[in-house]
C-alpha cells in the first residue's frame, strides 16, 4: 500500500455495530502505532481523506478530533494535520541555515567525503514524510564532514527527485545541498522542522565519527519545506558533540 493511502487503514465495516468514526480512529491509530505514519507525517486534507474513505467530513472530523484529544494528532493553522512526536519538542526559533553555511560564516575549514550518492526507492517512513508519489525515487546522499580535528558530522539526506531531476550527478564533495536546490533548481526553501536528541553512538555512526561505541552523539532529524509548503528533503544528522557544539541565539519576542 502507498504510504499516503488510507483506504485500507480504517477497515470500515458498515455492517458492524461499531460507529464509523470509531473505526476510522482505530485505523489511523494503527497506522501511527506501526510507524507507517511517523512523527511529523502530514495527513491529506479533510476533503481528500473523506473522499477516499467514503464518509462525510463530519464523520472524519469526529474521528480526527478523538486522536487530537489523545495527543496523537495535532493541527497547525494553514499547514494541516500532523502526527505528533513521542518526545517533548520545545519550539526553538532560529535562522534556517546549514552546517556548511555556519562553518563558512565562522571561517572554519572543512572537507566533505561523499560516501553514497544514489537514487533509491525511499524507506516507508521517509516516503511518508516527504510525501513521495507512488513509484517515486529519492536521492540518498551520505556525507562525512571533517575539520582539522577530525570527523564532526555524519549526514544522511533524502531528496525528492521530482523537484530536482538529475541531482544525483552533482559533486557534493564541493557543492552544498541547499545551494544546489536553490541555485541549480531555483527552488525556494522556506522552513524546516528540526528535532534534537542525544544518542549513544553505534555501528557506522561510531566508526565514521571516531567515537567509542556507546559514546555520546547529538542526533538531529530535519524535514525541509519549500515556499509552497511541499516537503523537499529529509535528513538524519549525527554530530560529534566532543568536537562541535550547537548554539542558538534566541529572541524573547
Q: Where in the chain is the domain with CATH 3.40.1410.10?
A: 99-239
- The SS3 call for residue 33 is helix
Cβ atoms of residues 200 and 215 within 8 Å: yes
DSSP state of 163: S
- The SS3 call for residue 63 is helix
- Multiple choice CATH, 99-239, 3.40.50.880, 3.40.50.80, 3.40.50.300, 3.40.1410.10: 3.40.1410.10
CA distances from 102 to 86, 98, 250 (A): 29, 6, 16
- Multiple choice CATH, 20-83, 1.10.1660.10, 1.10.10.10, 3.30.300.30, 3.10.20.30: 1.10.10.10
- The SS3 call for residue 244 is coil
CA distances from 83 to 67, 100, 161, 221, 247 (A): 9, 30, 25, 15, 28
Instruction: Give the pLDDT score at 96.
Output: 54
Instruction: Give the pLDDT score at 241.
Output: 80
Q: Which residues of the chain have pLDDT under 50?
A: 1-5, 7-10, 88-93, 249-253
Q: Where in the chain is the domain with CATH 1.10.10.10?
A: 20-83
Gyration radius of the chain's alpha carbons = 20
Amino acid at each position: 500500500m502507498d504510504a499516503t493511502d488510507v483506504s485500507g487503514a480504517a477497515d470500515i465495516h458498515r455492517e458492524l455495530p461499531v460507529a464509523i468514526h470509531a473505526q476510522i480512529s482505530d485505523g489511523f491509530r494503527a497506522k501511527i502505532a506501526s510507524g507507517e505514519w511517523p512523527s511529523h507525517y502530514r495527513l491529506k486534507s479533510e476533503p481528500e481523506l473523506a473522499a477516499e474513505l467514503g464518509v462525510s467530513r463530519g464523520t472524519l472530523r469526529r474521528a480526527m478530533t478523538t486522536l487530537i484529544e489523545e495527543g496523537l494528532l495535532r493541527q497547525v493553522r494553514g499547514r494541516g494535520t500532523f502526527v505528533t512526536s513521542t518526545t517533548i519538542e520545545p519550539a526553538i526559533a532560529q535562522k534556517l541555515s546549514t552546517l556548511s553555511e555556519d562553518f563558512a560564516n565562522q571561517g572554519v575549514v572543512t572537507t566533505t567525503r561523499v560516501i553514497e550518492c544514489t537514487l533509491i526507492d525511499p524507506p516507508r517512513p521517509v516516503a511518508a514524510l516527504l510525501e513521495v508519489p507512488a513509484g517515486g525515487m529519492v536521492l540518498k546522499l551520505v556525507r562525512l564532514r571533517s575539520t582539522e580535528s577530525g570527523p564532526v558530522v555524519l549526514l544522511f539526506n533524502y531528496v525528492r527527485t521530482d523537484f530536482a531531476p538529475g541531482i544525483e550527478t552533482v559533486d557534493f564533495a564541493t557543492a552544498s545541498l541547499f545551494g544546489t536546490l536553490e541555485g541549480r533548481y531555483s527552488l525556494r526553501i522556506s522552513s524546516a522542522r528540526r528535532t534534537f536528541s542525544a544518542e549513544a553512538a553505534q555501528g557506522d555512526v561510531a566508526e565514521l565519527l571516531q567515537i567509542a561505541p556507546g559514546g555520546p552523539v547529538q542526533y538531529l532529524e530535519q524535514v525541509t519545506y519549500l515556499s509552497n509548503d511541499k516537503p523537499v528533503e529529509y535528513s538524519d544528522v549525527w554530530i560529534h558533540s566532543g568536537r562541535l557544539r550547537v548554539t542558538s541565539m534566541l529572541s524573547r519576542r
